[in-house]
Amino acid sequence: TLTIPAADAVVGATYRARMIANVSFLASAQLTWRARLGGVAGTTLATIGPTTLSGTGQTNKESAVTVDLVCVSTGASGTWFAMAEETRNTTQTASLGEVQLGSSDGTIVRDTTASNAFVITALWAAASASNTLTARCVLERVA
């Protein structure tokens, strides 16, 4: 979680969250990534998925999700735009990578005068002890 302090955002301020992960899963497991502002229950900025990772189960495959968040306007009705990108090595043959994109499809409203937690979440479509994700995060203000 990257906490964006109250009144830190100015028009054009850019924040970046990057999550790198190892994923292991059963055949045809589906995973959904979401970027949110306001914590894990906050406003959804961008969604990628649900994506079927592969027709075959795999172990310790790489995945990376990067989300750039830009402040468009400030104030109690401040607006934000987000662009998310997932790169992964979990294709059917496990020999090629894939890239997926998601965005806020316009701007979303979130108060810039209050602090906001900027997070990336992952959700499996079906619970299984074989579907695991170990993540490492880098969160920063870019500009």
Amino acid of residue 23: V
Question: Does 35 have pLDDT greater than 70?
Answer: yes
> What pLDDT, on the 0 to 100 scale, is given for residue 92?
55
Residue 32 pLDDT class (50, 70, 90 cuts): very high
> What pLDDT, on the 0 to 100 scale, is given for residue 97?
63
Nearest Cα to Cα of residue 134 among 40, 23, 50, 53: 23
pTM, two decimal places: 0.87
Burial of 67 (0-12, 13-18, 19+ CB in 10 A): buried
> What pLDDT, on the 0 to 100 scale, is given for residue 44?
94
Residue 140 pLDDT class (50, 70, 90 cuts): low
Q: Determine the Cα–Cα distance for residues 14 and 140; give it in Å rounded to an integer.
A: 9
Question: Does 75 have pLDDT greater than 70?
Answer: yes
Mean pLDDT of the chain: 88
Average pLDDT over residues 94-119: 84
Average pLDDT over residues 36-48: 93
Question: Does 112 have pLDDT greater than 90?
Answer: yes
The pLDDT > 90 percentage for the chain reads 55
Question: Does 91 have pLDDT greater than 70?
Answer: no
